[in-house]
A and B are shown apart, each in its own frame.
Chain A
Amino acid sequence: MKQLKICMLGAFAVGKTSLVARFVKSVFSEKYHSTIGVKIDKKQLSLAGQDLTLVLWDLEGEDDLVRVQMTYLRGAAGYLLVVDGTRPETLETAVLLRRRIETEAGVLPFVLLLNKYDLAERWAINDPGLLGLRDAAAATLNTSAKDGLNVDEAFTALAQAVVDPGSGAAEGSA
C-alpha cells in the first residue's frame, strides 16, 4: 500500500499531538503532554478509490528551548503547519518554521491549520493574509481537535494536495 509521510509542525502546545489523536483515535484530552522528539502514528485513508497509509510524524513543538530538527522532514510528502488561534505569536513561529523548512528541507505542499477554533471568543488572529501563509498554503482551515471541526478534512486536503497537486483541495477556505 502506498505510504505518505506527513509531518506536524508548529509552535509548542498549538495542538499538533491533539490533532493527530483526534484523527487517528477520535479522542481528545485537555491535559497537556509535551512531545519529546517525534511521535509516529499511522492511519489508513482512502482517497478517490486509492488506499493510502499516512505515516504521521508529530514533531516536538518549537520554542526558545527546542529547535525543531529539519532532518525529520526527510522523505516527507507534505506537512500540516499548525497555529493556535488564541496565541498570535504562534503564527509568527509558523512563518519562521516554513521559511526554515524551505531552505533546509525544500519546498513541500502544506496545509495551514488555525487550531482551537472552539475557543472563538479568545480568537486573536486578525491578519487576513495570515502573514503571507494563506497564499502559500494548499489550504487553510479553522480546526478544533477538541470538537473535531475540520480535522479529517485537514489531513485529506493535504493528502489530496500531495497526490494530485492541481486538485481543488488547493482552494482552501478558513
Chain B
Amino acid sequence: MNDDTSLIAGVLGAMGLLVAQRVVGGYRWIGTPPPWAEAFGCTVDQPCDLAGSFAFMGLFLHDAEVFWAQAEGEATISSAPWSEPDQDGVEHQLEAVAMRLPRAGGQADGDGAEVIAVAGAGADVAQTQSILQAARERRLAVDRELAVRRQVEQQLRLRVEQRTVELARTNEQLRALAAQVGLAEQRERHRLALGLHDHVGQLLAAAKMQAGAERAAAGDPAARERLTGLLDLMNQAIDATRTLTFELSPPMLYELGLVATLASLMEQIAGQHPGMKCTFRDDQSPKSVAQDVEVVLFQIARELINNVLKHAQATRMVVETQTQDGALVMSVTDDGAGFDDGVLQEPVVGAGGFGLYSVRERLDHLGGRLEVQTRPGAGTTVRVIAPAV
C-alpha cells in the first residue's frame, strides 16, 4: 500500500466509512470497520467479504471492474447510491464508491493499480432525490390533469352522441306522427268529398231535373224566366260542389289513379288561369304505387302547383309523371322567379322554399326523395321520387 492509498484510506476511515482494499483473490479491511457496518457482519476479526455482507457490493465491484476495463485514461472512480437492510432488518441508506489509484511512481493501468472500495452510511441522497422527485411529482400532476380532461371530454362526447340519437328518434316519431295526421286528414277529406258528391251532388242533380221539367211545362213566360234563373243557380251550385269535391279529395284519384287525376287537375287549372300555359305529360308506363302513397303524392303535387301559381311569377308550367329505375317520378317545372336553394335546409315558412322542407320531411318518412333545381331568375324544377315498390 503506497502513501497516497494509506492517506486516503485513513481519511475515509476517520469519516466513519467502511474501507477495504483489493488483494489477490479478494479484499481486506483497511482500518476498523465502523459500528454501523457490524450489523452487516463486518468486523475486524471476520474475513472481509463485501459481496457476502452486502447484496449490492458483489455486483457493484464487478461493474466497477468492467467499467475500468472499458474506460480510457484517468477514469478512476465509480459510485452508486443504494439502500439495504442489515442482519436485523434495519434499513441503511448507503453509497458505494470504488477508487482505482495509481501505485507509487506508476500508472493507473489495470492490474498495476490499487483499488479500494468504500461503503458509506447515511449517504446524502436527499438533494438529488428532492430535485428528481419535484420533477416527477410535477409530471404526475400534469398527467393526472390530462387524464381527467380526457375523461371529461370522453363523457361529453358520449352525452352528445346520446342526445343526437335521442333527437333523431324524436324527429322520426314526429315525422311518423305527421304522416299519420296527414293520412287521417286525407281519409276525412275523402269521406267529406264522397258525401258531397254522392249525396249533395245527387240531390242537386235531381232538383235540377225537376226544375228543368217545370220550365218545359210552364206556359207563363214570366214563370219560365224565373225557372231559368233558378236552373242557372242550380248549375252554379252543382259546379261549386264538383270543384269543392275535387279540392277536398278527387274521387277519381281513388277510382282512376294519380295520373288521370293530375291530368284532370291540370285541365281545370288551365281553364282557371288563361295567362299560364299549362302542360301535363305522362310516359304511359304502368305505375304501381300504394294508394296511400298516391294520395300523399297528389297532395304534394297540389302544393307544388299552388306554389307556382302563387309565388313563381311564371308563364309556363309543366307537370310530368314517368317511371325511372322502377320508381315513379313526378316533376313540376316552371319558368318563374326561382329562389336560393339554401332555404331548403331549414323549415322556413314564407319567402322562398315555400313549404318544400315539409314536403321533403313527408317524403323522407315514406322512403321517397325530393330534388330541387333552382336559381334566382332561372325557374324551378321540383322532382318527387316516390319510394320504389
* A71 contacts partner chain B, Cβ-Cβ < 8 Å: yes
Min distance, Cβ B255 to any Cβ of chain A, angstroms: 65
On whether the beta carbons of A36 and B136 are closer than 8 Å, the reply is no
CB neighbours (8 Å) of B132 from chain A are 34, 36, 65-66
Contact, CB under 8 Å: A33 / B56: no
**B213 CB–A CB distance under 8 Å:** no
Q: Is the CB of A37 within 8 A of B80?
A: yes
Contact B133 A38 (CB under 8 A): no
Residue of A nearest to B92 (CB): A40
Please name all residues of chain B whose beta carbon is closer than 8 Å to the beta carbon of A134 when the two chains form the complex.
Answer: none
- B143 near A40 with CB under 8 A, answer no
The stretch of B6-14, B81-89, B336-344 in contact with A is B81-89
Report Cα–Cα, A122/B137, bound state, in Å: 18
Q: Is the CB of B62 within 8 A of A36?
A: no
A65 to B133, CA, bound (A): 11
- Choose among B135, B137, B151 the residue that contacts A65 (Cβ–Cβ < 8 A): B135
CB of A75 within 8 A of CB of B136, answer no
Contact B85 A74 (CB under 8 A): no
B30 to chain A, nearest CB (A): 24
Q: Please measure, in the bound complex, the distance between the C-alpha atom of A63 and the C-alpha atom of B139, giving whole angstroms.
A: 10
Known: A37-B80, A40-B84, A65-B135. A124 touches B59 (CB 8 A): no
Q: Do residues B59 and A74 form an inter-chain contact, with CB atoms below 8 A?
A: yes
Given the interface pairs A74-B62, A87-B143, A122-B147, the reply to whether A34 lies near B133 with Cβ below 8 Å is yes
**Interface pair A42/B85, CB less than 8 Å apart:** yes
The chain A residue sitting closest to B126, CB to CB, is A36
For this complex, 13 residue pairs linking A to B, each with C-beta atoms less than 8 Å apart, are: A32-B137, A32-B140, A34-B132, A37-B83, A38-B56, A40-B56, A41-B84, A42-B55, A42-B85, A57-B55, A63-B139, A122-B151, A124-B147
- Chain B residues in the interface with A (C-beta under 8 A): 55-56, 59, 62-63, 66, 80-85, 125, 128-129, 132-133, 135-137, 139-140, 143, 147, 151
Contacts from A to B (Cβ < 8 Å): 5, 12-13, 32-34, 36-42, 55, 57, 61, 63, 65-66, 71-72, 74-75, 86-87, 89, 122, 124
If A12-B136, A32-B137 are given as contacts, then 12 extra A-B residue pairs at C-beta distance below 8 Å, sorted by A number, are A32-B133, A36-B125, A36-B129, A36-B132, A37-B81, A39-B82, A40-B84, A55-B55, A65-B135, A65-B136, A74-B62, A122-B147
